[in-house]
Amino acid sequence: MKPIKYILVVASSATLFAVSCKDTVEPATTAVTYESEVGKLMTNYCISCHSGDKPADGVDLTTYENVKKQAEKGELTEKMNDENDPMPPSGMLTASKRKIIDDWISNGMPEK
């Protein structure tokens, strides 16, 4: 191989390698909101006991305002992470579902 061709091959390879190693931009993630995910978790796992005229422990989790109030007091995460008295009583939510709620709280508990 002639020196010029060799230099071009090496330079091209180095450029391709550098481009392939470049940090990729992650797509923006959608923020967790009450409307998009948290409300659905409450509906699927909580409101069978925490709704109606006499909700369990006097805690009604049927509205955004009520769920937010429990989250602000720290009681929502305290109850959902209690291995001795799990909420829901059928068993703790999966780690991924608890993370959704944690992310929602960390993000300021947006409604929509």
In a domain, 97, yes or no: yes
Per residue in 33-78, pLDDT (tens digit) is 999 999 999 999 999 999 999 999 999 999 999 999 999 999 999 9
Tell me whether residue 90 is in a domain: yes
Answer for the pair 51, 92: CB distance below 8 angstroms, yes or no.
no
60 assigned to some structural domain = yes
pTM of the model: 0.72
Q: Quote the domain boundaries for residue 92.
A: 34-106
- Is 19 part of any domain? no
Q: Count structural domains, the chain.
A: 1
Q: Is 4 domain-assigned?
A: no
Q: Per the domain annotation, does 22 fall within a domain?
A: no
Segment 81-101, tens digit of pLDDT:
999 998 999 999 999 999 999
Task: Collapse the DSSP code of 11 into the 3-class scheme (helix H, G, I; strand E, B; otherwise coil) and give the result.
Answer: helix
> DSSP string spanning 56-107?
GGG---SSHHHHHHHHHTTHHHHHHT-SSS-SSTT-PPPHHHHHHHHHHHHT
Q: Is residue 5 part of a domain?
A: no
Nearest to 76 by CA among 36, 112, 31, 106: 106
